[in-house]
């Protein structure tokens, strides 16, 4: 019998120290892997050693390390990520990437990104953790020498705006809690603490506040589910993973006034009976994550967060969790999986998070904009909130208008705006030399609409009338843009961002993109449009989660409004 020896290899001290630094829990996996990646030490060996230090199977950690687009097991340095989302694609991002690859040399690693949350600076790139844009081919040399472009200025309201969440834009120093307090911060939380959790729940319900992530579900109703759920530990989760093209509102809200987000979360915690909150923020927003961490530390020092807030029995702690590049983590159960240190794949529902969410406990997951609104409602009341709008849906919403308009960017206004108003009154009208052809409304998972829907009031119920609001993004396209071309870019986004868990989404999105690519290349075939319709039906009916299901929205709307254009690409 052959003698065999088992050779034990000690876990490197550097790995042990890194794991200990982050707490040594399964939920710390993503932070540990991000640190290894920053140190250019993320490789198969370090992943295996980290798994041993955490007491996890190495296969599980490899699954996490290979899931997120911002992590790489291959050596690289000085990463520049070039956005190829639909907004950047329409502003010649492909040519920009070619110029970077040609001029950057061996000192830089050039990578693509599905979206950087910089749609108002398109075409945009991320140099390490530094955002830059708009970047043109001719400005690549300056970019490589440290130039980062010009920041859009949102300090001045556009004509017709009704500002609530943006009221302090340009008026306060976002990194100073004293400045925030001087401009009304934590007055809403103070009123909540002087009341009862039940009264706060009733106020939020009575306001009619709908979630701002795209679904429009009642915030008060969701909070009541959590408040009524059984369990000693409950959580408040802020979804700041706005990885959908056309959407960048959460980034601006953090940069303008981070304390209104923290205050809204604390109010939610008080109403629901939660003592812990997490902000899950997309990996590309590293600067905003640091701003939130500074704001949390300042709020704790002033007694507005932490133990026994303002001398009351209420305790609420907020933690910032930085993602690593995965659109699917905007889906609430995938977000929870990622928070728990796993691959960001969606869970089977039911159970839903309000009854069984983070670590199996009742959890309220709301979009960052929803939390930013809450403090104002608590502070000024439901009558004030409803009076802001003459439309059936109360309050205000953040809108992003992009593309071929004179004044692209972000603004705040009541619900019920029409696409014509968004373009002409807030976007300054069509750009010189442009005429309206179609628009993508709501975000990447929104509707492609023609001029027949220009005058339909838009809210969370308008999708039944053919035009969606989603998270509030609107990409306006002129006569130079073909619906087939934009739809191909959308299918590319969904294909590369699919988590791959289910076949309809994993295969269907790639097949749809392949068909559209052939059509644009002049290789279309009879039956292509019929196959696209069939793929859309399969995605809607058989996908595991909302990502795959929502792909059918732009597909079906484009095929409905531009059937003749699509059929013209078919050849016999």
Of 526, 512, 452, which Cα lies nearest the Cα of 484? 512
Binning the chain into helix, strand and coil, the percentages to the nearest 5 are 45, 15, 40
Q: How far is CA 368 from CA 101, 240, 241, 326, in A?
A: 36, 6, 9, 17
Q: How far apart are CA 82 and CA 345, in angstroms?
A: 25
Residue 6 is predicted with a pLDDT of 63
Q: What is the pTM of this model?
A: 0.95
Largest CA distance in the chain: 87
**Radius of gyration of the chain measured on its C-alpha atoms:** 24
Ramachandran region of residue 55, left (φ > 0), alpha (ψ -120 to 50) or beta?
left
Long-range contacts from 13-20, C-beta under 8 angstroms, 24+ separation: 14/41, 15/46, 15/49, 15/50, 15/53, 16/53, 18/50, 19/50, 19/53, 19/54
Q: Are 335 and 329 in contact (CB under 8 A)?
A: yes
Strand, coil or helix: 508: helix
* Segments in the chain below pLDDT 50: none
Whether CATH 3.40.30.10 fits 79-144: yes
Q: What are phi and psi of 9, to 5 degrees?
A: -105, 120
Query: Would you list the domain boundaries of the chain?
Result: 13-65, 79-144, 177-385, 396-478, 483-567
Q: Which fold has domain 483-567?
A: de novo design (two linked rop proteins) (1.20.1440)
Q: How far apart are CA 375 and CA 182, in angstroms?
A: 15
- Which class would CATH give 396-478? alpha beta
Using alpha carbons only, give the angle 26, 29, 32 rounded to the nearest 5 degrees.
135
Strand, coil or helix: 477: strand
CB neighbour burial string for 521-541, b if at least 16 within 10 angstroms, e if fewer: eeebeeebbeebbebbebbbe
Q: Are 294 and 320 in contact (CB under 8 A)?
A: no
On the 0-12 / 13-18 / 19+ scale of CB atoms within 10 A, 139 is middle
pLDDT in tens, 236-264: 999 999 999 999 999 999 999 999 999 99
Residue 160 is predicted with a pLDDT of 95
Identify the CATH number of the domain defined by range 177-385. Answer: 3.40.50.11540
Q: How far apart are CA 147 and CA 441, in angstroms?
A: 33
Residue 2 is predicted with a pLDDT of 61
Joined tokens for residue 333: 């159960």
Residue 182 is predicted with a pLDDT of 96
Positive/negative CA dihedral, 299, 303, 309, 315: positive
Residue 211 is predicted with a pLDDT of 87
Residue 79 is predicted with a pLDDT of 94
């Amino acid at each position: 019998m052959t003698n065999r020896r088992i050779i034990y290899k000690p876990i490197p001290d550097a790995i042990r120290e890194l794991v200990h630094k982050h707490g040594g829990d399964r939920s710390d996996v993503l932070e540990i892997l991000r640190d290894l990646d920053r140190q250019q030490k993320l490789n198969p060996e370090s992943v295996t050693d980290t798994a041993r230090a955490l007491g996890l199977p190495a296969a599980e950690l490899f699954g996490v390390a290979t899931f997120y687009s911002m992590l790489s097991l291959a050596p690289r340095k000085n990463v520049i990520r070039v956005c190829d989302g639909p907004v950047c694609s329409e502003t010649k991002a492909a040519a920009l990437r070619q110029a970077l690859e040609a001029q950057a040399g061996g000192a830089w690693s050039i990578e693509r990104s599905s979206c950087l949350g910089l749609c108002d600076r398109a075409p945009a790139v991320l140099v390490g953790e530094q955002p830059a844009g708009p970047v043109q081919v001719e400005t690549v040399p300056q970019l490589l020498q440290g130039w980062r472009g010009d920041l859009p200025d949102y300090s001045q309201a556009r004509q017709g705006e009704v500002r609530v969440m943006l009221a302090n834009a340009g008026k306060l120093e976002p990194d100073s809690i004293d400045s925030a307090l001087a401009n009304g911060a934590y007055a809403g939380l103070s009123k909540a603490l002087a009341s009862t959790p039940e009264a706060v729940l009733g106020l939020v319900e009575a306001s009619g506040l709908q979630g701002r992530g795209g679904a429009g579900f009642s915030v008060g109703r969701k909070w009541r589910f959590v408040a009524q759920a059984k369990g000693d530990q409950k959580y408040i989760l802020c979804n700041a993973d706005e990885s959908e093209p056309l959407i960048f509102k959460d980034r601006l809200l953090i940069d303008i006034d981070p304390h209104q987000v923290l205050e809204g979360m604390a109010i939610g915690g008080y109403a629901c009976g939660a003592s812990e909150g997490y902000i899950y923020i997309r990996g590309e927003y590293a600067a905003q994550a640091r701003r939130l961490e500074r704001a949390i530390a300042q709020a704790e020092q002033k007694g507005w967060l932490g133990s026994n807030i303002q001398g009351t029995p209420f305790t609420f702690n907020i933690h910032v969790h930085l993602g690593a590049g995965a659109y699917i983590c905007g889906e609430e159960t995938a977000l929870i999986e990622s928070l728990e240190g796993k691959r960001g794949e969606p869970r089977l529902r039911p159970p839903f998070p309000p009854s069984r969410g983070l670590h199996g406990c009742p959890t309220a997951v709301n979009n960052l904009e929803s939390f930013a609104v809450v403090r104002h409602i608590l502070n000024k009341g439901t009558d004030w909130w409803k009076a802001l709008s003459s439309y059936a849906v109360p309050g205000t919403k953040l809108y992003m208008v992009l593309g071929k308009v004179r004044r692209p960017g972000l603004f705040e206004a009541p619900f019920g705006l029409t696409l014509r108003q968004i373009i002409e009154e807030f976007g300054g009208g069509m750009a010189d030399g442009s005429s309206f052809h179609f628009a993508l409304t709501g975000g990447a998972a929104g509707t492609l609409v023609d001029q027949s829907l220009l005058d339909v009031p838009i809210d969370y119920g308008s999708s039944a009338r053919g035009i969606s609001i989603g998270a509030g993004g609107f990409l306006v396209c002129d006569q130079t843009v073909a619906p087939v071309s934009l739809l191909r870019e959308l299918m590319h986004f969904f294909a590369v961002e699919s988590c791959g868990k289910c076949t309809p989404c994993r295969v269907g999105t790639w097949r749809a993109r392949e068909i559209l690519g052939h059509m644009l290349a002049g290789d279309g075939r009879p039956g292509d449009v019929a196959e696209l319709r069939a793929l859309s039906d399969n995605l809607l009916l058989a996908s595991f989660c909302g990502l795959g299901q929502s792909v059918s929205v732009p597909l079906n709307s484009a095929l409905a409004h531009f059937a003749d254009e699509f059929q013209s690409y078919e050849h016999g």
